């Protein structure tokens, strides 16, 4: 044997090991099923050494965040962490490689025998674990299952050489190990351990594979799992009777007497043969080469042909998936589905029923370019319903059919009037009603019109048709969710605009009231002969400008930075007080006290927003107070919240306070104690303005101490 051949043996990778085709296509089916069950998938993975080894190798990938030596996870838990997509990809990749590697067909019987021996060893290991008190039976099963993956690696890499070597060694395991070392430079146990180590797997499971052919003397002090797998291998090398070597090893390294093991061995053999029969595999004691009439070995088995067909179906399904992607309207999606149905199945008489959850019904629908469009939308099925075959599909998620060319079964439901009407509309003798199911939800049904000459083709491709229906259902579900999200976004946008319009109306009332009051003051000043009215006119002009700014905000997206400038907060407070005292404070008989921090520096902020906040808070307080009560306005520097420095603006009063139920929703646009025409928007607008300044606002209120608002504005200095 050349050095290059030896190097290939030493470098064989777990991910290249072939799995049994029967197991592969069942796993692919389970992964595609809408009601997929991870326990069922795990049970299938447990039936194949190569697949189990692949899962163990994949679980050590950093992409899944599992520790290399994490032995606490069961196979089900490992598969859950890997996810259904990773498992589907793993099985599909294995299937593609096996389909491409035609050499596997020549050694089909050898692979089946390896598979049976692995199952028997795994079953024995789990039973021995239970009998000897090993705490993790599932780990013992996995150890037994993958213990001989090195043999699969050798057969895959050098099929002809290793096949001959197995024939020469016969049933003598010691002879087999000796010949492997001579030919390849290592035995299959060492190769299996090497493959697991290279994939990142460490610990007793890897040791159980590496040392399962060690001598009994060497194993007496080994890890419990290593001893279990070694005994299971010795017992599993003969399916007809428990081998003497296995009985001796069990006694010496596990302390299990032979009388306990004969029944255990017989039970494990029976269980293995039942599993093999379930997969349609004939059991045999030793591998036999299959010969063609011309003397050459046979190629692919029936299962391999089935696997090839499944791969073809998946390629078709992938193309169909691309055909369905990207539709933004349900009509476009159904048109794409019609085209895909025509291309894949040759079916062009198709209609749909789509479920409307809110109406608890399903309505008929066909694409606008379909000949069925005219009448299809006039059909509606109330749900749940089993009066018709279509209703049964929509309610139970089952495929129903009318096939008059077949002998009717006794328990078959009779077509309803609706079913017969649909037949007439489809212009076919029969139909299949196929559920559109995705993520455990029935979103509709696909009604495929068929005639007798279509039936065989549809029956042969029924599974693919159901898969296609699942893909269509997934797209419908996604489209429904996108449309729902869009409708919700539009509703929120409309609500935002409505609230903004209400806010503008509310906020313009403040400057308009001030303008109205100052026009009255201006009139009195003129009547009294005052010649200096410039200050009154300035205030009126400023408030007119503020009205314009507020109205423009209805159609413009405000930028908090657009009017940011250096403001003197104390001066701004005095201006607002001067503005409100003659128009609001004095007429109401309310007192006003100022406590301003003279050390407060000018800060960088939006003058308009800060002014509006202050006006809202003072106006809100004034409207809640009785004559003689007092509003207090104060400022202070260096208020810290966390690591952030703020300046504080406080507006308090000694009024009646607010009840807890009002405080709980104080800044929402509904809470108000004012009654009358007040919209309850003032404080919600104030909160929004504070947020735009990246500040915070708090409120405390009680019947005995009145109400106190504190606004914290970031302490940003213009040139800091």
Residue 84 shares a structural domain with residue 163:
yes
Task: Say which CATH number the domain at 429 has.
Answer: 3.30.450.40
Contact status, residue 368 vs residue 379, Cβ threshold 8 Å = no
699-718 tens-digit pLDDT: 999 888 899 999 999 999 87
pLDDT value for 506: 64
Q: Is the pLDDT of residue 373 over 90?
A: no
295: in domain: no
Residue at 371 is within a domain: yes
Over 50: is that where the pLDDT of 298 sits?
no
Per-residue burial over 503-529, b if 16 or more Cβ lie within 10 Å, else e, is bbebbbbbbeebbebbeebbeebeeee
Mean pLDDT in residue range 175-192? 92
Largest CA distance in the chain: 130
Last residue of a domain, one of 216, 246, 278: 278
Domain assignment present for residue 394? The answer is yes
Token duo for residue 268:
């494990």
Q: Is residue 306 part of a domain?
A: no
Q: What is the pLDDT of residue 507?
A: 66
pLDDT at site 335 = 82
Does residue 634 have a pLDDT over 50? yes
Rounded CA-CA distance 546/538 in Å is: 12
Q: Both 165 and 248 in a single domain?
A: yes
Instruction: Pick the range with the lowest mean pLDDT from 252-261, 371-380, 437-446.
Output: 371-380
Comparing 560 with 644, which gets the higher pLDDT? 644
Task: Identify whether residues 462 and 391 lie together within a single domain.
Answer: yes
Residue 275 has pLDDT above 60, yes or no: yes
The answer to whether residue 509 is domain-embedded is: no
- Indicate whether 174 and 30 sit together in one domain: yes
pLDDT, tens only, 650-683: 999 999 898 888 888 888 765 444 443 333 456 8
Using an 8 Å Cβ cutoff, are 658 and 669 in contact?
no
Specify the residue for token string 């296995």: 246
- For residues 334 and 270, state if they share a domain: no
Residues 18 and 147 in one domain: yes
Domain that holds residue 414: 327-484
In eight-state DSSP terms, residue 599 is T
In a domain, 226, yes or no: yes
Confidence of residue 593 (pLDDT cuts 50, 70, 90): very high
> How far is the C-alpha of 493 from the C-alpha of 200, rounded, in Å?
53
Q: Is residue 163 part of a domain?
A: yes
51/87 Cα distance (integer angstroms): 10
Q: Is the dihedral of CA 30, 34, 39, 42 positive or negative?
A: positive
Pair 47, 167 in one domain: yes
DSSP for 32-89 reads: H-TT--HHHHHHHHTT-HHHHHHHHHHHTSGGGT--TT--S--HHHHHHHH-HHHHHH
Residues 137, 273, single domain; the answer is yes
pLDDT band at 532 (very low <50, low <70, confident <90, very high): low
Whether the predicted model's global pTM rises above the 0.85 cut: no
CA dist., res. 136 & res. 225, Å (int):
9
pLDDT at 78: 77
Q: CATH number for the domain including 604?
A: 3.30.565.10
Q: Are residues 255 and 342 in the same domain?
A: no
CATH no. for residue 138?
1.10.3210.10
The answer, yes or no, to whether residue 370 has pLDDT greater than 70, is no
The pLDDT assigned to 677 comes to 34
**The two three-digit tokens of residue 57, written as one number:** 């190798």
Main-chain phi, psi angles of 707, to 5 degrees: -120, 140
Phi and psi for 239 in degrees, rounded to 5?
A: -85, -10
Q: Is 709 helix (H, G, I), strand (E, B) or coil?
A: strand
Q: Round to whole Å and give the CA distance between 265 and 251.
A: 14
Regarding whether 332 and 266 lie in a shared domain, the answer is no
Shared-domain flag, residues 225 and 372: no
57-68: average pLDDT: 56
pLDDT at residue 521 greater than cutoff 80: no
Q: What pLDDT is stored for residue 573 in this prediction?
A: 93
Mean of the per-residue pLDDT values of the chain: 80
Q: DSSP label at 279?
A: T
Number of domains in the chain: 3
- Rounded-to-integer distance, Cα 221 and Cα 202, Å: 19
Of 484, 513, 541, which residue is a domain's last? 484
* Domain final residue, candidates 464, 484, 504: 484
CA distance 143 to 207: 9
pLDDT value of position 675: 42
Instruction: Report the residue count for the chain.
Output: 720
Say whether both 244 and 382 belong to one domain: no
- Does residue 491 belong to any structural domain of this protein? no
Distances (CA, A) of 343 to 340, 348, 371, 383: 5, 9, 18, 32
- From 61-75, 181-195, 424-438, the region with the lowest mean pLDDT: 61-75
């Amino acid at each position: 044997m050349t050095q290059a051949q030896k190097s290939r043996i030493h470098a064989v990778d777990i991910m290249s090991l072939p799995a049994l085709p029967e197991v592969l296509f069942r796993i692919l089916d389970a992964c595609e099923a809408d009601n997929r069950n991870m326990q069922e998938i795990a049970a299938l993975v447990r039936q194949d050494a190569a697949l189990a080894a692949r899962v163990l190798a994949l679980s050590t990938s950093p992409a899944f965040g599992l520790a290399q030596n994490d032995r606490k996870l069961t196979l089900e838990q490992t598969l859950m962490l890997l996810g259904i997509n990773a498992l589907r990809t793993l099985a599909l990749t294995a299937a593609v490689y096996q389909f491409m590697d035609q050499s596997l067909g020549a050694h089909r019987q050898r692979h089946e025998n390896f598979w049976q021996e692995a199952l028997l060893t795994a079953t024995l290991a789990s039973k021995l674990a239970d009998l000897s008190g090993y705490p993790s039976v599932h780990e013992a099963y996995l150890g037994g299952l993958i213990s001989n993956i090195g043999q699969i690696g050798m057969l895959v890499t050098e099929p002809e050489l290793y096949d001959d070597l197995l024939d020469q060694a016969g049933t003598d395991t010691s002879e087999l190990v000796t010949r492997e070392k001579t030919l390849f430079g290592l035995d299959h146990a060492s190769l299996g351990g090497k493959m697991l180590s290279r994939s990142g797997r460490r610990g007793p499971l890897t040791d159980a594979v590496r040392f399962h052919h060690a001598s009994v003397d060497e194993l007496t002090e080994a890890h419990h799992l290593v001893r279990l797998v070694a005994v299971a291998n010795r017992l599993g090398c003969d399916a007809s009777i428990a081998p003497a070597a296995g009985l001796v090893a069990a006694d010496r390294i596990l302390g299990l007497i032979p009388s306990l093991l004969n029944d255990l061995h017989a039970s494990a053999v029976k269980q293995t043969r039942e599993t093999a029969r379930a997969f349609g595999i004939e059991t045999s004691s030793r591998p036999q080469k299959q010969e063609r009439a011309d003397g050459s070995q046979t190629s692919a088995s029936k299962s391999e042909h089935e696997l090839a067909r499944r791969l073809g179906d998946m390629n078709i399904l992938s193309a169909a998936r691309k055909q369905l992607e990207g539709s933004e309207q349900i009509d476009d999606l159904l048109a794409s589905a019609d085209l895909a149905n025509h291309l894949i199945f040759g079916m062009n008489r198709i209609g749909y029923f789509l479920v409307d959850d809110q109406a608890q019904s399903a309505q008929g629908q066909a694409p606008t370019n379909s000949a069925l469009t005219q009448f299809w939308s006039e059909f509606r099925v109330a749900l749940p319903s089993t009066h018709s075959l279509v209703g049964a599909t929509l309610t139970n998620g089952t495929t129903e059919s009318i096939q008059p060319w077949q002998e009717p079964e006794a328990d078959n439901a009779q077509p309803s009037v609706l079913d017969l009407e649909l037949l007439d509309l489809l212009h076919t003798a029969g139909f299949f009603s196929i559920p559109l199911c995705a993520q455990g939800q029935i979103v509709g049904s696909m009604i495929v019109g068929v005639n007798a000459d279509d039936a065989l083709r549809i029956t042969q491709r029924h599974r693919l048709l159901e898969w296609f229906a699942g893909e269509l259902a997934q797209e419908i579900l996604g489209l429904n969710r996108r449309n729902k999200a869009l409708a919700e976004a539009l509703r929120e946008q409309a609500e935002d605009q409505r609230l903004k319009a209400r806010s503008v109306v509310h906020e313009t009332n403040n400057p308009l009231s001030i303008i109205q009051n100052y026009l009255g003051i201006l009139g009195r000043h003129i009547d009294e002969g005052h010649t200096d009215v410039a200050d009154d006119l300035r205030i009126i002009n400023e408030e007119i400008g503020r009205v314009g700014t507020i109205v423009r905000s209805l159609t413009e997206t405000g930028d908090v930075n657009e009017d940011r400038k250096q403001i003197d907060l104390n001066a701004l407070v005095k201006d607002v007080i001067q503005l409100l005292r003659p128009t609001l404070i004095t007429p109401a008989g309310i007192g006003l006290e100022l406590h301003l921090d003279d050390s407060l520096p000018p800060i960088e902020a939006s003058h308009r927003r800060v002014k509006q906040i202050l006006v809202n808070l003072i106006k809100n307080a004034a409207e809640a107070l009785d004559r003689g009560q007092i509003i207090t306005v104060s400022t202070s520097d260096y208020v810290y919240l966390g690591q952030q420095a703020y300046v504080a603006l406080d507006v308090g009063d000694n009024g009646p306070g607010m009840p807890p139920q009002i405080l709980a929703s104080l800044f929402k646009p509904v809470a108000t104690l004012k009654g009358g025409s007040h919209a309850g928007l003032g404080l919600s607008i104030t909160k929004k303005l504070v947020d735009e300044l990246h500040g915070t606002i708090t409120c405390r209120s009680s019947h005995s101490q009145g109400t106190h608002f504190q606004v914290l504005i970031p302490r940003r200095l213009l040139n800091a």
